């Protein structure tokens, strides 16, 4: 009798786990193959306006650069800025947005806008792969919360926990 109940219990756990995994797969597939939710697009637009306001305040002008959201960026790169034939474009990685949208809003958009602005001003430097002291100061002036060269994956993961790790 006890072994039958235990068997049913494990069968129920397996079924619930299967449903959970299926739902998770469907959500990931759906996010990947559909346009970004309006909420994400609105958050990106709001942050861009915030960056432009910081630009006006700290540099005396506003210049808006196109932001393209793509799933063609390789690996875990959150964003990049392209300067090609005089055209400056900011690319954001759609593949990491679902799990790291707050980081993209708070850090990546000002980070990439800083590269774009320095390209525009012809002050870009190859020092530290484009992350010079001037770039860092520009990023901070544009409202960036984390103006470093590379992403600290551990910090992003820890920021998602419902408690503080010391």
| Structure token pair of residue 65 | 């650069």
Most confident range (mean pLDDT) of 7-21, 127-141, 145-159 is 7-21
Averaged confidence pLDDT in the chain = 86
Contact in structure between 107 and 145 (CB atoms under 8 Å): yes
| Residue 160 in this model has a pLDDT that exceeds 90 | no
Residue 100 in this model has a pLDDT that exceeds 50: yes
Helix H, strand E, coil C: the string for 25-78 is HHHHHHHHHCCCCHHHHHHHHHHHHHHHHHHHHHHCCCCCCCEEEECCCCCCCC
Average pLDDT over residues 48-70: 97
Quick one: average pLDDT of 151-156?
A: 49
User: 157 versus 34: which is more confidently predicted?
Assistant: 34
The pLDDT of residue 165 is above 70: no
List, edge to edge, every strand of the sheet that includes 87-93: 67-70, 87-93, 79-84
pTM over 0.95: no
43 or 98, which is more confident? 43
Q: How far is CA 30 from CA 23, 25, 34, 39, 76, in A?
A: 10, 8, 6, 16, 20
For residue 85, what are its two tokens? 């034939």
In contact, 108 and 139? CB cutoff 8 Å: no
pLDDT grade, residue 76 (50/70/90)?
confident
pLDDT digits (tens, 9 = 90+) for 22-46: 988 887 787 777 888 999 999 999 9
**For residue 29, what are the contacts with CB-CB under 8 A and spacing of at least 6?**
none
């Amino acid at each position: 009798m006890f072994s039958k109940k235990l068997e049913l219990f494990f069968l129920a756990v397996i079924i619930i786990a299967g449903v959970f995994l299926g739902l998770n797969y469907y959500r990931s597939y759906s996010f990947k193959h559909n346009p970004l939710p309006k909420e994400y697009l609105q958050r990106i637009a709001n942050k861009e306006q915030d960056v432009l306001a910081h630009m006006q305040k700290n540099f005396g002008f506003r210049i808006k650069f196109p932001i393209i959201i793509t799933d063609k960026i390789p690996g875990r790169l959150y964003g990049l800025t392209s300067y090609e034939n005089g055209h400056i474009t900011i690319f954001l990685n759609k593949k990491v947005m679902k799990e790291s949208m707050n980081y993209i809003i708070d850090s990546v958009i000002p980070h990439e806008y800083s590269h774009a602005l320095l390209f525009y001003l012809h002050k870009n430097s190859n020092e530290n792969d484009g992350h010079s002291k001037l770039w860092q100061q520009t990023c901070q002036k544009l409202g960036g919360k984390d103006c470093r060269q590379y992403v600290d994956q551990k910090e992003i993961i820890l920021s998602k926990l419902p408690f503080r790790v010391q």
